[in-house]
Amino acid sequence: MNLPMNSLFSQVETMGHEQIVYCHDPKSGLRAIIGIHDTTLGPALGGTRLWAYDNEEDALRDVLRLSRGMTYKAACAGLSLGGGKAVIIARPEQKTEAMFRAFGRFVNSLGGRYITAEDVNTCVTDMNNVRMETRFVTGVSPALGGSGDPSPVTALGVFAGLKAAVEYRLGKKDLRGLKVAVQGVGNVGRYLCGYLAEQGVKLYVSDISVDRLKEVERAHGATVVGQDEIYGLDVDVFAPCALGGILNSKTLPLLKAPIVAGGANNQLEDEKVHGQILKERRIVYCPDYVINAGGLINVYNELLGYDREKALSEAKSIGNSISAILHDAEKEGITTQEASGRFAERRIKSISELKQMNTLENSGIGRMHR
């Protein structure tokens, strides 16, 4: 059957989603959409974004795009997780306990196919409220078995990926004496500065917060530069740790660094166009969702019984993933973003091809007997 291009089934068919759940609780005012993209590798995990979308179509588009992204992120990180995401259509000031408890009941009704977490405009308190209704939630407070601030783990993963990129592009195992420009010294950026400074890296930093800049200047002897100046510095690595969309037609001509390795999400304004420009300029780009997967590794560990040392040690393996992806991209003559996509798809395909071993329990005969 040919479906109209704008139908929901047509969209999920193109993007490969398994299930979309619309959640409505009139009493609490909850209007949410849960997107389960692919559960081949494990239950779909991804945060809940609360946003005042202009219309339902925008909310759906966002949840489809974000949940698909989580499948690739988990696959590249080597986790036994699939990709999912949820959006709640509301303004931050409309948040209530009842809204999140109602949402928790919907999450619970999926029996663990979807596991939620924090995202834009949702916080630990919201996840604690979800936890009252379901165990399929991460990012709760440490008192409820949560993993706390993910930023040091994310930053360590970025650090490991950056090191792998330096070894690949500059042939150096030791970072001593190298220059790194860090854009944004918030949670991830300032921890990254700490790891780099320990290795004798010369740091250049920009931020819109004067206080944060002063802190890294004092702690690590970083040189503060202007918000626009950061792009054109003659450094070895540019590490975006603030906003998305910062690799674009305006900034790319300014870049002198041979490597881009940072924690920010969605760094390429246009994946195809700007990924290709980076490739042509021989600038090694570490795909953002691969290098910043430490936060996901952290909440995955929460599901297993949280141990911070284990989470930190696993985040270091991001260096191996980055290294494999950079070599694959070179071998196949494709962008690193394309190489990470193929890397994820190969892993999902290999697991989906595993032979189903029938037992009485999971066979049709077993179901007839129940």
Q: Mind telling me the catalytic residues?
A: 85
Would you say 20 or 216 has its CB closer to ligand NAD? 216
Closer to ligand NAD at the Cβ: 97 or 229? 229
Pick the closest to residue 242 from 168, 294, 181 (CA basis).
181
Query: Applying CB under 6 A, which of residues 241, 299, 322, 344 lies at the interface with ligand NAD?
Result: 241
192 to 211: interface string for ligand NAD, x by CB under 6 A: --------------xxxx--
Between 165 and 242, CB nearer to ligand NAD: 242
Helix axis angle, 151-170 relative to 318-332, nearest 10°?
Answer: 40
Question: Binding string to ligand NAD for residues 282 to 301, with x set by CB under 6 A, is what?
Answer: ----------x--x------
Query: What residues form DSSP beta bridges with 247?
Result: 268
> How far is it, in rounded angstroms, from Cα 152 to Cα 157?
9
- C-alpha 271/C-alpha 15 separation (Å) is 16
Map the footprint of ligand NAD across residues 174-193, applying CB under 6 A. 183-189
Would you count residue 122 as binding ligand NAD (CB under 6 A)?
Answer: no
Q: Is residue 223 a contact residue for ligand NAD (CB under 6 A)?
A: no
- CB count, 10 Å around CB of 160? 23
Q: For residues 279 and 237, what is the distance between their CA atoms, to the nearest angstrom?
A: 15
String of contacts with ligand NAD for each residue 250-279, x by CB under 6 A:
-------------xxx--------------
Say how far apart CA 102 and CA 218 lie, in whole Å.
46
Residue with tokens 């209704």: 133
Q: Which of residues 147-166 bind ligand NAD (CB under 6 A)?
A: 150-151, 154
* 193 neighbors 199 (Cβ within 8 angstroms): no
**Rule CB under 6 A: which residues touch ligand NAD?**
150-151, 154, 183-189, 206-209, 212, 227, 241-244, 263-265, 292, 295
